[in-house]
Chains A and B, each alone.
Chain A
Amino acid sequence: MKIMNMVNAINDALDIKLAEDKSVIVYGEDVGVEGGVFRVTEGLQKKHGVERVFDSPLAESGIVGTAIGMAVAGLRPVVEMQFCGFIYPAFNQIISHATRMRNRSRGKLETPIVIRMPYGGGINALEHHSESMEAIWGHIPGLKVVAPSTPHDAKGMLISAIESNDTILFMEPKRIYRAIKQEVAEGKYTIPLGKANLVTQGKDVTVVAYGAMVREVQKAIVMAKEAGISVELIDLRSIYPIDKETIVKSVKKTGRLITVTEGPRTYGVGSEISQIALEEAFLHLEAPPARVAGFDVIVPLPKGEHHFMQDPYKIFYEIERTVKY
């Protein structure tokens, strides 16, 4: 075991896969010499060589588009989008090709690509650096979308993602890149994608969150406990595929559901989870499923960001309302 933050854990996962599998290639803007703007890929170029870990020209569409070509030819590219707001030039390559190649070729061609991308707010960043638009990505047929909430999960999930034969958007909650440290197993282990994690057992209400929001919910749970409310916390881990079984089982137990997401509320991930509860656990529900979500607005610049971000109070407010319904 080794104490790691999420940056260390992701670096470790990349290091392990680069060492183990010659088909793994890591590239993106500033990931080589500099080791990425968040230092996630630090040291990897030195260790694995410039042919396998390198800086690309500044072009997101170029990065994902070339990754498709590499993947079709048998490589396993792990590419980085520098910030969540810069991925959009690559949208076309993702929605038009990466997610379609297998289907289009009737299974002959594969695109085992991992697109790593820091996302989410709370770091006082400039415009386009704070969004949580996972609902857009979850909506694209052929794409898998995951977001770890701990260093341990980040490492195991990234190794699974690199080993997967599908295209995976690996969303990294940058707000907690260095905020959480924990013991992480050395060497290789995997965490299956598509499996949620039951973090805390409780009986009054189920709260589903992922990424940086898990920690916010944990803070709200402390407040709820003082108010005599027992919360069951599920870390979704995977936005698509979605672990219906874990959600439904929990909702059937508690009878109440709250989703906590950073992205805009309308057509969001919370809406999808609520619908699952309605379809599969309707008769068990004692209150309408509730959403703690971003407003349908552009993430404000730092001075206004606190209006937008989910905080433990917003979560507890919803917990109290739902339990008292």
Chain B
Amino acid sequence: MFKEYNPLQESMFQVIDNHGKVINDKWMPKIEDKQLLKFYKDMLFARTADLQIVSYQRQGRIFTYPPNYGQEAIAAAAGVHIRENDWLVPAFREMGTMLAKGVTLKELFLYFMGYEDGSAFTKAKNTLPISVPIASQLLHAAGLGYAIKYSKKDEVVYGFVGDGGTSEGDFHEALNFAGVWSVPVIFIIQNNQYGISTPTHMQTASSSLAVKAVAYGVKGIKVDGNDFFAMYKAIEESVKVCRDGKGPVLIEAVTYRKGAHTTSDDPTKYRTKEEEEMWEERDPMKRMKAYLISKKLWSDKEEEKIIPQYKEEVDRQFIEAENYGPYPKEDVFKYLYADTPDDLKDQEHEYDRFLQWKNSKLK
């Protein structure tokens, strides 16, 4: 696959077209119907949750949130392959993979409501917290890869970044380290066409983002990130490469951020309606759904029936998060050090005295 879709040839790996029709039999993954339906439903759940969060934000019930809308196939396909002991190194738009790892929606809600507890991931193994400084996390992925190789484990690291992130030095250092060390890391670039307002062609003069793999001597492939089957297959092959000790792999997943960069952003400032309409045709959910309907595995009716159930579940977890309670003062101080310095303890005690005084004043 990596030979056939060599990034220097400028082709994009696709399996289905915009209408859900298989156009690449050779690489169509073999997935059982029941499984496939589960994957679709997981994606649908993630999209339902994502849209719901944006509306909570509009109601002032949650702070700034970066929507996944339109990019769900990438995170979902990674979520299918990632194993319990594999490492997830997210950026911040990978809800599907995080849920697959066992991060709960409630935790994501807590995070975006402003509680660090939302990054504790009590049920998800080997999952790093969301990383805000762009691309910095990819070096951690390379380091995790080294540790895996060193301890002769068969785990794989999934490291995510956006198109904008490929401009940061850390992106290049991570690919270089991972290449030199030949470690089991799958770097996935979610190329959603914009770094906030800046289009990908202003981030790089390269003909693609996948082509950057060539210079680092690692395998790379450009994939239609809105084609679940293509993403599924590309990641499946990448996992094989990694487990054979021939990693890392760089996947450019071509997609489109249908929503805003975050809820603070207004995309009408920098992109056209025509462009949005063009990408609407390529929506990953619509394409997969069209495939499922053509195989009589799914119907609009079933979808209409299930979405309210999903909404209810999302709401349930959201309300749980909303009732999480006040942020304990102790939590400001206690996680910084394994061995908290005395001076920091004094600062906390001084704060206690202040709070006592303040309460007496407010009485």
Contacts and interface: CB of A to CB of B under 8 A. Distances in A.
B332 A57 contact: no
Q: Which 4 A-B pairs have the closest CB atoms?
A: A302-B114, A57-B167, A34-B197, A304-B327
Contact of B269 (A34, A61, A124, A297): A34
Nearest to B162: A58
B332 A55 contact: no
Size class of B's contact patch? 35 or more
B354 A314 contact: yes
A85 B196 contact: no
B233 to A, nearest CB: 30
B168 A89 contact: yes
Nearest to A292: B354
Contacts of A186: none
B116 A85 contact: no
Contacts of A308: 332
A128 B133 CA distance: 8
Contacts of A265: 347
A202 interface: no
Contacts of A317: 354, 357-358
Interface string A221-247: 000000000000000000000000000
A89 B167 CA distance: 12
B134 interface: yes
Contact of A88 (B114, B133, B198, B357): B133
Interface in A50-75: 55, 57-62
DSSP majority for the A interface?
loop
A127 interface: yes
Nearest to B168: A59
Interface string A294-316: 01111011111101100001100
A307 B329 CA distance: 7
Interface string B319-361: 0000000110101110010000001100110010010011001
Contacts of A59: 167-169
A30 B198 CA distance: 6
Interface of B: 63-64, 111, 113-116, 132-134, 164-165, 167-170, 195-198, 202-204, 264-265, 269-270, 326-327, 329, 331-333, 336, 343-344, 347-348, 351, 354, 357-358, 361
A296 B113 contact: no
Given A58-B165, A296-B344, A317-B354, A304 B270 contact: no
Which of A60, A297, A308 has the most B CB atoms < 10 Å from its CB? Answer: A297
Nearest to B347: A295
A323 B125 CA distance: 54
A285 B16 CA distance: 78
21 contacts: A34-B196, A34-B269, A55-B198, A57-B203, A58-B134, A58-B167, A85-B132, A89-B133, A126-B63, A129-B132, A265-B347, A295-B333, A295-B347, A297-B332, A298-B336, A301-B116, A303-B115, A303-B327, A304-B331, A304-B332, A317-B357
A12 interface: no
A133 interface: no
Interface string A124-157: 1111110000000000000000000000000000
A308 to B, nearest CB: 6
| A29, A295, A303 interface centre (most CB from chain B within 10 Å) | A303
Contacts of B164: 57-58
Nearest to A86: B133
Given A297-B333, A300-B332, A313-B358, A89 B198 contact: no
Interface of A: 29-30, 33-35, 37, 55, 57-62, 85-86, 88-89, 124-129, 265-266, 295-298, 300-305, 307-308, 313-314, 317
A265 B269 CA distance: 41
A128 B343 CA distance: 24
Given A58-B167, A300-B116, A307-B329, A127 B203 contact: no
Nearest to B112: A126
A125 B170 contact: no
A317 B116 CA distance: 29
B318 to A, nearest CB: 15
A29 B196 contact: yes
Nearest to B357: A317
User: Which residue, B168, B204, B331, has most C-beta atoms of chain A within 10 A?
Assistant: B168
B362 to A, nearest CB: 9
B64 A125 contact: yes
A209 to B, nearest CB: 18
Given A58-B203, A297-B344, A89 B333 contact: no
A301 B120 CA distance: 14
A313 B361 CA distance: 9
A314 to B, nearest CB: 6
Contacts of B113: 302-303
Contact of A89 (B114, B170, B357): B170
A239 B362 CA distance: 34
B246 to A, nearest CB: 30
Contact of A33 (B133, B269, B348, B357): B269
Contacts of A61: 168-169
A302 B63 contact: yes
A295 B269 contact: no
Given A55-B197, A295-B332, A304-B327, 7 more contacts: A29-B195, A30-B196, A295-B344, A295-B348, A295-B351, A302-B114, A314-B354
